[in-house]
């Protein structure tokens, strides 16, 4: 459930200039977690770390995509 709340928190940040400004002032993960909790989002450090890993994996798959070999005899 907290992964869904992380998505909701990110969605809120994308739509709120004030929240983005507050996030910009966060110097570490704990400050982000405290801000999220203050706003009613129940996310954990694991959620943030898991999201970072997911993004790195997605970027790796995207950058290592191999184009199909074209058959010159077709």
In a domain, 51, yes or no: yes
What pLDDT does residue 55 have?
Answer: 80
Give the structural domain span for 13: 2-63
What pLDDT does residue 61 have?
Answer: 82
Question: For 1-74, where are the alpha helices, taking DSSP H only?
Answer: 2-15, 17-24, 29-38, 45-63
Q: Residues 42-64: pLDDT tens digits?
A: 999 888 888 778 788 878 888 88
In a domain, 71, yes or no: no
Task: From 13, 6, 9, 8, select the one nearest 49 (Cα to Cα).
Answer: 6
Residue the block writes with tokens 């995207």: 62
In a domain, 68, yes or no: no
Q: Residues 19-50: pLDDT tens digits?
A: 999 999 999 999 999 999 999 999 998 888 88
Rounded mean pLDDT, 11-25? 95
In a domain, 70, yes or no: no
């Amino acid at each position: 459930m907290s992964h869904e709340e992380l998505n909701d928190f990110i969605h809120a940040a994308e739509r709120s200039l004030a929240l983005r400004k507050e996030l910009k002032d966060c110097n570490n993960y704990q400050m982000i977690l405290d801000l999220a909790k203050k706003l009613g989002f129940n996310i954990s450090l694991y959620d943030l770390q898991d999201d970072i890993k997911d993004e790195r994996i997605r970027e790796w798959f995207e950058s290592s995509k191999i184009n199909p070999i074209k058959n010159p005899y077709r």
